[in-house]
Amino acid sequence: MLEEHVADGTLNARTRWRDYCAQIKDSQSYLAVASNTSGSTPKELFDDVIEELGKQYQEDKIQIKEVVKSGKIPMTTSWTLEEFQTATLEDDALKGISTINIKLVYDDQLERLKEKEQKDAKKRQRLGENFSDLLYSIKEISASSTWDDSKQLFEDSQEFRALDSETYARELFEECVVHLKERLKEKERLREEEKAKREKEREEKEKKKEKERKEKERKEKERDHREEREKEKGKDRSRRDEMEFDGADLNTHGAKDKKRDKDKEKKHKRRHHDTDDVSSERDDKDDAKKSRRHSSDRKKSRKHAHGSDSDSENRHKRHKKDRDSSRRNGAHELEDGELGEDGEIY
């Protein structure tokens, strides 16, 4: 069973016992050997076969690697297994090597090449970054620089020599110039954006000022309108107050005129009454005198009766004249607004 598995490739120098045992643990051959209490165990038999396969693999691997190093087989990470087998079998020194070991060598070589390629790529990247940093640090290199004009600026530098490839260095230089152009465009774009932003802010500020100005004008107009309305209301109130005052003044003067006329009439009546009383009193006194004279000098009175009557008539006329004059003077003084007899002003 082990020989069959070696022949079909199931068992090779890279096979592990754990994996192989999982495949054969249910087979009759394995169970028969495992149940045998004497002799070798299945594991011991496996190890013996693997040891022989391992020795053969190492011999084949050494031969193939020598051919690869010589350049006869320029293997790369892009090669397929079929390409590697074809190149190996075409070499006379490698004839007789099993396809199983050729595959094992291919897998081993491919893994090593990938590891080396990754390592070289990291180194190349590190050296490239150093050279790029140098390019960006040179102020003379700009977005319009060319390789031929700028090479003299860095060709003696350690960063350039470490690349060991002018082609790669030129690629990095072109990338640097492209990046500088993009940076220049970005700066220009940012300037335009900043300019547009400032312009927009200016316009918004102007709009805000215009809005505030209009709002201020609107408020001033409203205030002026309110003040104008207040003035009109004040004028209306003043006119109403004047009209009410004039009406009240007219009513007051009318009442005063009526009162003054009434008082004048009272004064006139009182004065007339007083004058009548005085005249009457005078008449009474005169009559008494006449009576006494008449009684004491009857004879004399009789003699002069006609003369006394004439004198009495004259005195009566004088009293009447004085009374009329007093009435006229009293009315004139009241009309001029002077004091009456009771001390009131008219």
Count up the domains in the chain and report the number. 1
DSSP secondary structure of 290-311: HHHHHHHSHHHHHHTHHHHHHH
Please tell me the predicted confidence (pLDDT) of residue 289.
57
Residue 171 lies in a domain: no
Out of 98-102, 132-136, 168-172, 196-200, pick the least confident: 98-102
For residue 110, name the pLDDT band (cuts at 50, 70, 90).
Answer: very high
d(CA 160, CA 33): 68
Average pLDDT over residues 297-312: 49
- CA nearest neighbour of 150 among 136, 163, 164: 136
For residue 291, name the pLDDT band (cuts at 50, 70, 90).
Answer: low
Residue 324 lies in a domain: no
d(CA 144, CA 198): 30
Is 30 or 105 the better-scoring residue by pLDDT? 105
Average pLDDT over residues 317-331: 56
Please tell me the predicted confidence (pLDDT) of residue 327.
52
Length of the chain measured in residues: 346
Which tens digits make up the pLDDT trace of 49-75?
Answer: 889 889 989 998 998 988 888 888 888
Average pLDDT over residues 121-129: 95
Tokens representing residue 202 in the block: 């200016």
Residue 23 lies in a domain: yes
Residue 242 lies in a domain: no
Residue 38 lies in a domain: yes
Which tens digits make up the pLDDT trace of 242-277?
Answer: 777 666 555 555 666 667 767 777 776 666 555 555
Q: What average pLDDT does the structure give for the chain? A: 79
Please tell me the predicted confidence (pLDDT) of residue 335.
44
Q: Is this model's pTM higher than 0.75 or not? A: no
Tokens representing residue 201 in the block: 């802010």
Q: Is residue 99 within 8 Å of 85, Cβ to Cβ?
A: yes
Please tell me the predicted confidence (pLDDT) of residue 159.
95
The domain containing residue 15 runs over which residues?
Answer: 2-94
Which tens digits make up the pLDDT trace of 184-240?
Answer: 999 999 999 999 999 999 999 999 999 999 999 999 999 999 998 888 888 888 888
d(CA 267, CA 275): 12
At residue 173's C-alpha, the angle toward residues 167 and 174, to 5°, is 90
d(CA 60, CA 97): 6
Residue 64 lies in a domain: yes
Please tell me the predicted confidence (pLDDT) of residue 343.
45
Residue 257 lies in a domain: no
Tokens representing residue 320 in the block: 């009447």
Please report, to the nearest 10 degrees, the dihedral formed by the alpha carbons of residues 188, 192, 193, 199 taken in order.
Answer: 160
Residue 37 lies in a domain: yes
Q: Exposed/middle/buried for 157, CB within 10 Å: 0-12, 13-18, 19+? A: middle
Please tell me the predicted confidence (pLDDT) of residue 274.
54
d(CA 141, CA 119): 31
